[in-house]
Amino acid sequence: IKEKSRKISDLTIVNGLVWHEGGGDILPIEIQSINETFSRVIPTGNLGFSILDSLHLSYNVVLSCDWCKKHSKKINKSIQVNIPESVIYKDGPSAGLAFFTGIMAEIMSKKIPQNTAYTGELTLSGSVLPVGGMKGKLTAAHISGMETVYIPKRNFNDLSRIGNKVKCALNIKLVDHYSEVLKDLWKV
């Protein structure tokens, strides 16, 4: 079976999971690399301070990860990150894992399955921190046709509040560190 991907020409799309007062939603995040003499992250969209901090932290974690250290000569790119559905102001600290995965996919020229979504915040050491709104996020993933979701392992107890229909329909991967996602997706 050929794997479908959200890598469209020179554009990577990663699905973040967000929560709002009305429930959860899928938030497509567009990522594109730009060849420049130095590396930087360029955020676009109506983003708040928390999500910008999450983006910058994720970018710094990417630059310090083992793969990037080994291939540092290949990384002279700037990364533009756009959240096109941010006409409505977006903020919140749960997109770190999605940002990290999308930026890594772009730098490594890897594909991200279109039926996969991510939630969780990162620390500088790459640990994945627990986040809120798990019921709404997983319900949104199910309704949107996602098959696999990566969530913080420390959100395991939240799964008891999720209906069996949603849990059975999703391949829920509990992760403690970004390296688990890299290994699972691309055997890195």
Catalytically annotated residues: 94, 137
Q: How many residues does the chain have?
A: 188
**Which residues, 6+ apart, have CB-to-CB distance to 82 below 8 Å?**
29, 30, 31, 32, 43, 44, 45
Tally of CB atoms within 10 A around 32: 18
User: Which string of DSSP letters, residue by residue, matches 29-56?
Assistant: EEEEEEE-SS--EEEESSB-HHHHHHHH
Distance CA 113, CA 131 (A): 23
Helices (H), 65-161: 66-70, 96-108, 134-143
Of 60, 172, 30, the C-alpha closest to 126 is 60
Q: Which two tokens stand for residue 165?
A: 């229909």
